[in-house]
Each structure stands twice: as C-alpha cells, then as structure tokens.
Amino acid sequence: MVDAERLRQGDEDAFKEFVGETERLLMSVSYGILLNTEDARDAVQDAYLRFWRSRERLDPNGYIQAYLVQILKNVCLTMLKKRANTVGMDEIPEPGKKETPSSRLDEKEIISRAMTVLKEKERMIVAMIHYENMDSAEVGEILGLSASTVRSHYQSARIRMRNYITRFFPEFVR
C-alpha cells in the first residue's frame, strides 16, 4: 500500500503506484453503481482527478482507499442524477412479460439487469465481494460499515437478484 504522506506531498510515482493498486477495485465499484462500462471508466478517471486535486487534505493515518471510494461514489451518484436514474430501466421486462432464451442474453447481461433492482450500497457491496473477492471486513472498512452489516446487505442483495432472475429469466436459474 502506498504511503499516504507521499501522496499528500504530490509524489507522482506514488500516485501511479496507488492507481495500479486501486484501479480494478474502482472499476468494479463504479460498474456496480453505473452498470455501464464506459461510464464506469469515466467515473474512475474523474475520481482519480478529484483525489489528486484534494490530496493535501489526506489524513496520513487514515484509510486512503476508503477516501478514494467515497470520492468515486459521489462521482457515480452525480452521473446517475444526470441520467435521471434511467440506468437500464427501459430494458427491464414489464411485469408479466418474461423473456426467453431466444432473447440470447448472456449471463453477464442478466446479472447487470438484476443489479438494477439493488440499492446503490448493495451494488457496491456485491461488486467488491463478487468481482474483487474482498471479504466483508475489507468492504466494511472502505464503506464505513461493520462486517456483519456488509454480510447482511450482501445476503439481501443476493436474494433480491435471485428473485429478479427467477421471475424474468427462469431458464437461467440453476
């Protein structure tokens, strides 16, 4: 992990190292919120830029990764507001209308659609646990939650996603 003091002082090598350490996590979190790869990339870039501009305020004893994720979360929320929260809603089947295997959706697309029914915090938790293989304590530290709260949100999210998939894509339920 990069030394926060080096980042605070504007060490560009430390920043490059920090980006290398955190980029995958940020992509997972931003994709989990935005459900769009291009928007997720834009959000990550904007978050790094904002982080760099505010680096003097870093607490050398604080958890800098959590600070960066908070910046990213704010960027993503701003992007969602600009889109008027219409992320994929036009693609979700209407109640009572089920899609069939002939619609040729792949598993990733179905999971993305299922994630639209989750709350933002749940999407971040699912992204960090499922895509980044983080444990509940790590996720909790980043999001400012207890490990048990993270586990509870994760279980709730999994149930809601499974219910959505079962309802609209029963052929994909194993």
Task: Give the tens place of pLDDT for each residue, 114-170.
Answer: 999 999 899 999 989 988 889 999 999 988 999 999 999 999 999 999 999 999 888
- pLDDT, position 161: 93
Question: How far apart (Å, rounded) are the C-alpha atoms in residues 98 and 18?
Answer: 45
Q: 9-35 burial, b if ≥16 CB within 10 A, otherwise e?
A: eebeebbebbbeebeebbbbbbbbbbb
Question: How far apart (Å, rounded) are the C-alpha atoms in residues 59 and 81?
Answer: 30
- The model scores a pTM over 0.75: no
- Interval 44-93: pLDDT, tens: 999 999 999 999 988 877 789 989 999 999 999 888 878 754 444 444 44
- pLDDT, position 104: 54
- pLDDT, position 30: 93
Q: Which residues contact 140 (CB under 8 A, 6 or more apart)?
A: 146, 147, 149, 150
> Cα–Cα–Cα angle for 161, 21, 55, nearest 5°?
105
- pLDDT, position 55: 92
Contact status, residue 27 vs residue 40, Cβ threshold 8 Å? yes
Comparison of pLDDT for 60 and 8, the residue scoring more: 8
**pLDDT band, very low/low/confident/very high, at 23 (cuts 50, 70, 90):** very high
- pLDDT, position 170: 86
Q: What's the Cα-to-Cα distance from 40 to each of 35, 57, 173, rounded to whole Å?
A: 8, 25, 28
Residue 161 main-chain phi, psi, to 5 deg = -65, -45
Three-state SS string across 76-135, please?
Answer: HHHHHHHCCCCCCHHHCCCCCCCCCHHHCCCHHHHHHHHHCCCCHHHHHHHHHHHHCCCC
Contact status, residue 86 vs residue 115, Cβ threshold 8 Å? no
Domains of the chain (ranges plus CATH)? 4-82 (1.10.1740.10), 90-172 (1.10.10.10)
